[in-house]
């Protein structure tokens, strides 16, 4: 059977920024727990179709599991279904539906899609199939409401990024990134250690690249969180004894696959007096960030991470590469967070410029100053001096 029908495409209003208001000002047909369209179903749409939509909404409400979206409750979902069904009714009638009362934490697109699928199941009933034109009208109304939800979501996201909660949103996203990335790191490390059996050299290299990539993303998420805290947090609040060689070996293990993939030589050189007193976690983070950046912008040659003793307590750390160097117009804002590239592909630690800003802050928190020397087409050297005394003899 073929059916042709038209559905007036009046705009559905979303009132971006109003979503999530209290329910007391909601329309009567979208009151808490109401999931059926209002009586008076509109021109040309007969009762059997609306009964199918009401039954579909009831099914979705009954089968919705709160775990699908942690922040939403069953009451929120029922309320959202009332808002959606009312918007569908008004759209079919050629009026503007209002989605401004949609609860903020309900996954609206997923809810609408489940309602649409449930409606199609109920539309298989004989009395509804006899009203094929009405079914087509309602499906077109679903499309109109979907478009409005997409616009509403974009507006709300933009509003959060420019509002008072922007920083909190970015930090939450960074935290959400770290959990799956941490799982990837653990799994890759176990596989590299032979937990799944012996690996061929090519498999070792591929796992190394997976580990390095996941570590880089995890570090970026960490930079976002660190910047929100001010960028000077030292995980080791008090100086502790540590081996510089262990810090360097950790960096080498993480970055060697990336260097080998680009056919670069990577070398790490430690001081003669290996055990020092300082902040190893912050030092590791700075050197790792700088070395990652060096590999990123070096196509041939080498990356060297070196530690040079200046006297019994002072140690100079440097990361040198044979890359393309840093243009003068970039150096003026090199350590600024969230800078914009003037030219696509310009030198930048990341597109947001977070890494070098964090490095500078952490070096400052450890009592040093991060400096840079660079020459175009010859390379770059980042360096800083830290007071790292040798531990007292027992």
Q: Do both 288 and 216 map to the same domain?
A: no
Q: Do both 146 and 280 map to the same domain?
A: no
Question: What pTM did the predictor assign?
Answer: 0.55
Strands 240-243 and 302-309, how do they pair? unpaired
Contacts of 391 (CB under 8 A, 6+ apart): 241, 275, 276, 277
Higher pLDDT among residues 261 and 166, named by residue: 261
Q: Do both 249 and 353 map to the same domain?
A: yes
pLDDT exceeds cutoff 80 at 168: no
* Percentage of the chain exceeding pLDDT 90: 26
pLDDT, position 171: 72
Q: Do both 107 and 28 map to the same domain?
A: yes
pLDDT, position 162: 62
What value does the mean pLDDT take over residues 349-378?
A: 81
Q: Do both 173 and 219 map to the same domain?
A: yes
Q: Is 15 part of any domain?
A: no
CATH of the domain at 353: 3.30.565.10
pLDDT band at 273 (very low <50, low <70, confident <90, very high): confident
Higher pLDDT among residues 354 and 96, named by residue: 96
Q: Is 234 part of any domain?
A: no
Q: Do both 154 and 253 map to the same domain?
A: no
Higher pLDDT among residues 39 and 48, named by residue: 48
Q: Is 4 part of any domain?
A: no
pLDDT, position 379: 94
Q: Do both 261 and 310 map to the same domain?
A: yes
List, for residues 61-112, the tens digit of each pLDDT value.
888 876 443 456 778 888 889 988 888 888 888 887 777 777 766 778 888 8
Closest CA to 251 of 335, 317, 348, 178: 317
Q: Do both 266 and 374 map to the same domain?
A: yes
What value does the mean pLDDT take over residues 364-390?
A: 94
Higher pLDDT among residues 233 and 104, named by residue: 104
Q: Do both 178 and 207 map to the same domain?
A: yes
How far is 133 from 149, CA to CA, in rounded Å? 25
Domain count for the chain: 3
How far is 207 from 33, CA to CA, in rounded Å? 51
Q: Do both 172 and 140 map to the same domain?
A: no
pLDDT, position 34: 52
Q: Is 88 part of any domain?
A: yes
Least confident range from 110-124, 186-200, 219-233: namely 219-233
Q: Do both 144 and 201 map to the same domain?
A: no
How far is 265 from 256, CA to CA, in rounded Å? 9
Q: Is 116 part of any domain?
A: yes
pLDDT, position 263: 92
pLDDT band at 235 (very low <50, low <70, confident <90, very high): low
Tokens of 48: 């059997």
pLDDT, position 32: 39
Q: Is 17 part of any domain?
A: no
List, for residues 302-339, the tens digit of each pLDDT value.
999 999 999 989 999 999 999 989 888 888 778 776 55
pLDDT, position 156: 66
pLDDT band at 187 (very low <50, low <70, confident <90, very high): confident
* Percentage of the chain exceeding pLDDT 70: 74
Question: 264: domain range?
Answer: 240-387
pLDDT band at 351 (very low <50, low <70, confident <90, very high): very low
Mean pLDDT across the chain, nearest whole number? 78
Q: Is 14 part of any domain?
A: no
**In whole angstroms, how far apart are CA 261 and each of 85, 186, 218, 373?**
55, 22, 20, 26
Domain final position from 176, 208, 228? 228
List, for residues 19-28, the tens digit of each pLDDT value.
443 333 433 3
How far is 13 from 350, CA to CA, in rounded Å? 38
């Amino acid at each position: 059977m073929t059916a042709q029908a038209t559905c007036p495409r009046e705009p559905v209003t979303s009132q971006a920024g109003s979503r999530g208001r209290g329910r007391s000002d909601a329309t009567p047909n979208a009151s808490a727990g109401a999931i059926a369209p209002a009586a008076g179903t509109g021109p040309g749409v007969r009762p059997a179709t609306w009964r199918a939509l009401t039954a579909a909404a009831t099914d979705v409400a009954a089968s919705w599991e709160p775990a699908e979206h942690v922040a939403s409750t069953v009451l929120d979902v029922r309320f959202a279904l009332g808002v959606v069904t009312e918007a569908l009714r008004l759209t079919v009638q050629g009026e503007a539906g209002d989605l401004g009362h949609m609860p903020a934490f309900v996954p609206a697109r997923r809810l609408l899609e489940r309602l649409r699928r449930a409606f199609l199941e109920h539309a298989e009933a004989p009395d509804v199939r006899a009203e094929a034109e009405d079914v087509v009208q309602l499906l077109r109304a679903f499309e109109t409401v979907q478009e409005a939800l997409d616009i509403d979501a974009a507006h709300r996201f933009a509003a959060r990024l420019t509002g008072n909660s922007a920083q909190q949103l970015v930090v939450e996203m960074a935290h959400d990134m770290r959990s799956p990335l941490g799982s990837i790191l653990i799994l890759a490390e176990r596989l590299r250690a032979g937990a799944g059996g012996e690996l061929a050299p090519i498999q070792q290299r591929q796992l190394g690249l997976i580990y390095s990539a996941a570590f880089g993303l995890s570090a970026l998420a960490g930079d976002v969180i660190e910047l929100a805290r001010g960028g000077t947090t030292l995980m080791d609040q008090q100086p502790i004894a540590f081996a510089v060689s262990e810090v360097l070996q950790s960096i080498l293990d993480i970055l060697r696959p990336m260097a080998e993939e680009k056919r670069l030589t990577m070398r790490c050189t430690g001081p003669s007096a290996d055990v020092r007193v300082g902040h190893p976690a912050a030092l590791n983070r700075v050197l790792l960030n700088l070395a990652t950046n060096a590999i990123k912008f070096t196509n041939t040659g080498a990356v060297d991470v070196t530690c040079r003793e200046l006297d019994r307590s002072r140690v100079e750390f440097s990361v040198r590469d044979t890359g393309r160097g840093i243009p003068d117009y970039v150096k003026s804002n090199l350590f600024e967070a969230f800078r914009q590239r003037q030219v696509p592909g310009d030198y930048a630690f990341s597109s947001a410029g977070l890494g070098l800003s964090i490095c500078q802050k952490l070096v400052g928190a450890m009592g040093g100053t991060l400096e840079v020397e660079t020459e175009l087409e010859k390379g770059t050297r980042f360096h800083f001096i830290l007071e790292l005394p040798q531990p007292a003899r027992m």
